Amino acid sequence: MQGSFENLVGSRRVLVTDDSAAQRQMLAMQLGRWGYDVAQAASGAQALALAQQGDFDFVLSDWVMPGMSGPDFCRAFRALPRDGYSYFVLISAKSGTAAVADGLASGADDFLTKPIDPAELQARLHAGERILQMQSELRQRNNDLQHLYNALQRDLAEARRLQLSLIPETVVPFDGAEGMFLMQPSGHLGGDLVGWFPLGSGRIALFSIDVSGHGVASALMAARLAALLSGRSRDQNVAFLDGIPLPPEAVVERLNRLLCADQQGDLYLTMIYADINLVDGTVQLVQAGHPHPLHLSTRHPPVWVGDGGFPVGMFPDATYHSISLHLSPGDRLVIPSDGFTECPGHAGDLGEDGLSRIMARNGALRGPALHAALRDGLAAHAGATDFPDDISAVVFDYFGATPNG
């Protein structure tokens, strides 16, 4: 242990501050014999100027000096911007407890009384060395943690990019219809998922999913669901059996059994799954604990569709029922997540009424313009653009079958 201390001494810089040239020289000679690199200052102001130009591991300062006293110099020294720590020792003829308390209150680490005993000085330096070593180790650990944090941030940013790549383009044209898909995680990663896939024979499936919780676990579950509801392979898509599309209630029940069978944690999800016939506008829809979809039409007032239903992945024996509705040309189906309806504001949560007002104000908008208007409307309600929960929505505009459709 002694060897390691002596090895470190040669790399340590000491600032000796005293208005007495003889006292400074005596201390500098002693410290030099022990292997320290010593700088001298005749006043607190001169010492402060030296400290602004370079770092010192130890500072030995006389208490009584003209102009700036030792405690005043200590306070000014501690106020300097520094990456590391310096062990500060005040030297004085005073030895009372009040003097020691005043010195420590100024930011000093230790206290020596005159005349200075070399053995006591070395003991103080040994004690300071232990503090500096611990501080150095702590800085190294903090640097290591910062490197890990930076790497994690990069990984999370990449994961967010990959997660957002799972959702469709903002606007997807269909035969006689158009879908607008919005998703914004509240943090780096979220548990919301929106999408669609073709069912064949002029039919498409729309889905909106909200996995419980936030962060990596929810995002991984959302990624798995994206694979289970992918339009790239019917063999892996839970909505198909032997290549034939299942009814919406069978799709959700199948997904529920699958998630309950291999669920390792306490994650569950809410969802809307809709089977839409693009030819005649008929919709078969299952609501599984998700907020109610909104049916907008010029033929009747806004209608909130559905009766709730059980979340998916919570109850193995849960059953689900489909709801039928009909879209006429010009109708709009809005499927929000609870990030919209439960978004807090000064007057309370947005709620269904608030979302209805946002949709009414922007009824003539479509595509990217509607996408921006929905986020802006929610931000106006919340008073911020950083929302406490993931937000997602699907807006489906039905225009009617084309003449050759």
Neighbours of 347 (CB within 10 A): 9
pLDDT, position 377: 95
113 and 232 assigned to the same domain: no
386 and 276 assigned to the same domain: yes
Q: Is residue 294 part of a domain?
A: yes
211 and 284 assigned to the same domain: yes
Tokens of 338: 């609870």
Q: For residue 158, give every residue at least 6 positions away whose Cβ sits within 8 Å of its Cβ, in sequence order, or none.
A: none
181 and 132 assigned to the same domain: no
113 and 40 assigned to the same domain: yes
117 and 230 assigned to the same domain: no
* Domain stop point among 126, 141, 156: 141
pLDDT, position 349: 95
Q: Is residue 147 part of a domain?
A: no
Asked if pLDDT for residue 405 goes beyond 50, the answer is no
322 and 250 assigned to the same domain: yes
Which helix (H) or strand (E) segment is 7 a member of? helix 2-9
Question: Where does 93-222 show beta strands of DSSP type E?
Answer: 110-113, 171-174, 177-184, 192-200, 203-211
Q: If pLDDT is split at 50, 70 and 90, which confidence band does 216 have? A: confident
Question: Domains in the chain: how many in total?
Answer: 2
Asked if pLDDT for residue 5 goes beyond 60, the answer is no
The CATH number of whichever domain residue 55 belongs to comes to 3.40.50.2300
pLDDT, position 2: 44
172 and 131 assigned to the same domain: no
23 and 75 assigned to the same domain: yes
231 and 112 assigned to the same domain: no
Residue position matching structure tokens 């504001």: 345
The CATH number of whichever domain residue 227 belongs to comes to 3.60.40.10
The range of the structural domain enclosing residue 45 comes to 2-141
pLDDT tens track for 166-215: 677 899 999 999 999 998 887 666 788 899 999 998 999 999 999 887 77
Q: Is residue 347 part of a domain?
A: yes
- Residue 259 phi/psi, 5-degree rounding, is -70, -35
24 and 71 assigned to the same domain: yes
Q: Is residue 403 part of a domain?
A: no
Helix, strand, coil distribution of the chain in percent, nearest 5: 40, 25, 35
Q: Is residue 378 part of a domain?
A: yes
